[in-house]
Structure 1
Amino acid sequence: MNWDQIAGKWTEMKGFAKQKWGELTDDELDQLSGKRDQLAGLIQQKYGLAKEETERQIKEFETSCKC
C-alpha cells in the first residue's frame, strides 16, 4: 500500500499506526490526518530516532498495511 492510499484511509489506518508506535496518542494521530511528513517528525520527537531510521520504520509500515 502506498502512502496516498494510507492517507485516504487514515481513520482506519491510525489504529495500525498506534500499534506500531504506541507512544503516539489518539489526539496526535487525529491531528496528523495521514500527513506522512508530520508523522515522521512526531516519531522522531517521541522516540528520539534519526531521520533515516524513522523513514525505514514508516516504509515498513507502508508495506505491512494490507487494507
Structure 2
Amino acid sequence: MDQDRIEGNWTQIKGKLREIYGDLSDDDIEEARGEREQMIGKLQAKVGKDKDEVRRDVDNILAGF
C-alpha cells in the first residue's frame, strides 16, 4: 500500500488497529502514523507478539483499503 493511501485512510486504519490491539493508546498509534515498518515495530514492542504475526495483522488491515 502506498503512503498516500495510508495517509488518506489513517482514521479507519487507526480504528482497525484498536479493534485488534485494544491496549494501544492514541499516542502509540500516532507515533507510527503511516509508516508500516515503524507501526509493526511499535505494535510488537507494545503487545509482545511475534513480528511475523504483527506483520500479518497489519498487512490484513492495510489490504482492506
1:29 partner amino acid: I
- Root-mean-square deviation (CA, aligned residues, Å) is 1.9
Separation in 2 of the partners of 1:35 and 1:43?
Answer: 12
TM-score (norm 1): 0.72
TM-score (norm 2): 0.73
1:53 partner amino acid: E
CA contact (8 A) 2:43 2:54 kept: yes
Separation in 2 of the partners of 1:29 and 1:3?
Answer: 18
- Compared CA separation, residues 3 and 14, structure 1 to 2 (3 A): farther
Unaligned runs of at least 5 residues, structure 2: none
Identity %: 31
Paired position in structure 2 for 1:54: 54
The aligned length equals 64
- Compared CA separation, residues 52 and 19, structure 1 to 2 (3 A): same
Deviation at 1:24, TM superposition (A): 1.0
Paired position in structure 1 for 2:17: 17
Deviation at 1:40, TM superposition (A): 0.4
Runs of 4+ aligned residues of structure 1 deviating over 3 Å after TM superposition are none
